[in-house]
Amino acid sequence: MNTPAAPEPSRRDGLVARPLVKAVRRPSTVDLITVELRAAIYGGTLRPGSSVREAEIAAQLGVSRGPLRESAQRLVQEGLLVTRPGAGLRVAMIDRDEVEDLYQARLAIEGHAVRVLSGLDEAQRAERAGTVRVLLAALESAVEAGTDARRIGDADLDLHYGLVESTGNHRLTAYASTLIVQTRIAALSHPEGYVVRTDILDVHRSLLRQVTEGDAEGACRTLDEHFRQTVDRLRGDLTEPFSTVAGRPDGSGYTFNPLA
Amino acid sequence: MNTPAAPEPSRRDGLVARPLVKAVRRPSTVDLITVELRAAIYGGTLRPGSSVREAEIAAQLGVSRGPLRESAQRLVQEGLLVTRPGAGLRVAMIDRDEVEDLYQARLAIEGHAVRVLSGLDEAQRAERAGTVRVLLAALESAVEAGTDARRIGDADLDLHYGLVESTGNHRLTAYASTLIVQTRIAALSHPEGYVVRTDILDVHRSLLRQVTEGDAEGACRTLDEHFRQTVDRLRGDLTEPFSTVAGRPDGSGYTFNPLA
DNA sequence: GACCGGAGGAATGTCGACAATATAACGATC
DNA sequence: GATCGTTATATTGTCGACATTCCTCCGGTC
């Protein structure tokens, strides 16, 4: 219900109506550097707490210190890097005291996502859920392979990201991306290294089922409980549902320390 | 329940136990510039869509282009500035197509906030609500004064920010701050200028009452409905609850165009 | 009369260099 | 023996300058 019957004769169609081609946006150098740095943090190459010497990293990226420093400020704003005046850049650390804060933020975002998805009509709900189901399948096969915890962790975070992305909200998707990287930082900051919970498949199957059924409250409860246990684990208060085995029969675990 | 009975004799108390003084953090130049720029955008000095010439702004700030450009990247990450390669910086515009996205994000954050607050026990709930009640009083007196819409808008946004801040979550608070500034950008981007809805006090009184009573679902519904109408208004589909009068008897309105 | 193309000007993107600061190592002192 | 003060090194914070790119204006052309 917008501009009911006014053809706007003064303007030409091409200027006001829907464009026929998608606008392209050439990425700036800072864009490229930022992607690279974020990937290095997410991948564990730049370890939490380690210092980022500008000259060294800039040289590896093939640029000068200027663009690198500009890009670094984006990551500072994201909470992935921290600066102390005169002491330069460090990769952020997310320790016991901050884990609760982080997962509360994730609950806000992802809780909203599952509410939105659950509230859709059945046709759209099935469509969006299908997208996420692919990610669940990827998680299942990662657990099936069972070689290292990092791959499982990747699939896990991919799924949570996809959950938010499937709402179509650009802002929340971008913020989810930030929180996902912070989650990885928190995992890498944990002294025992990367640990996957044993019931990871059960949790996510339940979550997806509840979303598919339109059970918003149930899905939120699942998220909340899942996050709560993970927080306790990362804070060192809980070890029970996180035995190092995740569905493998021989008892050898997924505990994986990428720092080693 | 953490490290049950281990006094950790090898480490000295001062290194592991609670510090006696609060850590200070001297702000960097980029920090200061960022605050200044954000305030200029929020205040309307830097108008949505206007270009930010680096040399000019840097000179006004009393710094070189380097630090300014670094600071600008923080605001780019926040979505307050946009860059096109070669074409420099512009203040972001949030038009019809983006308003929905923005207010959905706010609903995610603020909805979570009111859920958290509503879920507290009565004592804490009363305490936090008291903090927000001060902001409601400020909004009331701004409406009472009724001189310009901008002051009312400030009080409105202050209240919503305070709602999130009172949860104590640093990440969500920081993100709320970003979304608040974007909300201001959206308002300033509106061709008709700054408009305040007539029932602004009713809405926020209801909201705060519901939070105080622990009615999470009701508070979320209030937020949702309020945002929905505002989105419709900003998209130009709705004018009804936004007549220019907000509680004043003489009919003269709050419509205020800061661009004029 | 509107569109296309080119020259002029201005602003950006990037770099190297310098001064200021923090860190580390070393020695002196209680 | 531990702490404090000093020195040396390395890194950062900031600036000015240059090449490149984009925007605007103007004339030519259909």
**What pLDDT, on the 0 to 100 scale, is given for residue B150?**
86
Confirm whether A180 is domain-assigned. Answer: yes
Confirm whether A12 is domain-assigned. Answer: no
Of the candidates B248, B246, B241, B47, the residue with the CA atom closest to the CA atom of residue B153: B246
| Beta-carbon pairs below 8 A across chains A and B | 97
A121 and A200 within one domain: yes
B158 and B112 within one domain: yes
Query: Using the 8-state DSSP alphabet, how is residue A256 labeled?
Result: B
B110 and B66 within one domain: no
Does B33 have pLDDT greater than 80? Answer: yes
- Rounded CA-CA distance A181/B110 in Å is 23
Lowest mean pLDDT of B24-28, B109-113, B114-118, B251-255, name the range.
B251-255
Task: State the pairing for strand pair A88-91/B81-84.
Answer: unpaired
- Amino acid (one-letter) located at B194: Y
Residues of A in contact with B185 (CB under 8 A): none
Instruction: Taking residues B185-197, report their average pLDDT.
Output: 85
B147 and B213 within one domain: yes
CATH for B166: 1.20.120.530
Confirm whether A200 is domain-assigned. Answer: yes
B111 and B73 within one domain: no
**What pLDDT, on the 0 to 100 scale, is given for residue A190?**
86
Confirm whether B7 is domain-assigned. Answer: no
Does B258 have pLDDT greater than 50? Answer: no
**What pLDDT, on the 0 to 100 scale, is given for residue A2?**
39
- Rounded CA-CA distance A226/A244 in Å is 17
Q: Whole domain around residue A127: which residue ranges?
A: 96-242
- Rounded CA-CA distance A113/A127 in Å is 15
B50-63 tens-digit pLDDT: 999 999 999 999 99
- Rounded CA-CA distance A164/A175 in Å is 10
- Give CA angle at B155 (B151, B157), nearest 5°: 115
Residues 35-54 of B with CB under 7 A from strand C: 51-54
A111 and A83 within one domain: no
Partners of B51 in the β-ladder:
B90
Confirm whether B260 is domain-assigned. Answer: no
Of the candidates A80, A162, A118, A175, the residue with the CA atom closest to the CA atom of residue B106: A175
B110 and B63 within one domain: no
Structure-block tokens of residue A78: 């994201």
Q: Counting beta carbons within 10 angstroms of the beta carbon of residue B181, is it exposed (0 to 12), middle (13 to 18) or buried (19 or more)?
A: buried
**What pLDDT, on the 0 to 100 scale, is given for residue A240?**
56
Lowest mean pLDDT of B48-57, B195-204, B224-233, name the range.
B195-204
B198 and B102 within one domain: yes
A146 and A74 within one domain: no
Question: How many domains is chain B partitioned into structurally?
Answer: 2
pTM, entire model? 0.88
* Closest partner CB to B169 (pick from A104, A175, A235): A104
- Amino acid (one-letter) located at A119: G
C15 closest protein residue (CA to C1')? A64
B147 and B232 within one domain: yes
Contact B74 A77 (CB under 8 A): yes
**What pLDDT, on the 0 to 100 scale, is given for residue A253?**
39
Last residue of a domain, one of A38, A56, A91: A91
Confirm whether A197 is domain-assigned. Answer: yes
B97-148 tens-digit pLDDT: 999 999 999 999 999 999 999 999 999 998 998 999 999 999 999 988 876 7
Sign of CA dihedral B83, B92, B176, B109: negative
pLDDT along chain A (260 residues), means of 10: 35 51 92 98 96 97 97 98 95 95 98 97 90 95 82 95 97 98 94 82 96 96 96 78 42 37
Confirm whether A191 is domain-assigned. Answer: yes
Confirm whether A110 is domain-assigned. Answer: yes
Distance from residue B60 (CA) to nucleotide D16 (C1'), in Å? 18
Instruction: Taking residues B153-160, report their average pLDDT.
Output: 96
- Rounded CA-CA distance B154/A185 in Å is 36
The residue ranking higher by pLDDT, B230 or B8, is B230
**What pLDDT, on the 0 to 100 scale, is given for residue B10?**
36
- Rounded CA-CA distance B234/B254 in Å is 16
Let me know: does B166 contact B208? Beta carbons within 8 Å: no
- Rounded CA-CA distance A197/A255 in Å is 10
Phi, psi angles (nearest 5°) of residue A238: -145, 135
**What pLDDT, on the 0 to 100 scale, is given for residue B18?**
63
* Closest partner CB to A169 (pick from B105, B172, B236): B105
B217 and B126 within one domain: yes
- Rounded CA-CA distance B25/B259 in Å is 37
CATH for A37: 1.10.10.10
Q: What's the whole-number average pLDDT of chain B?
A: 86
A209 and A185 within one domain: yes
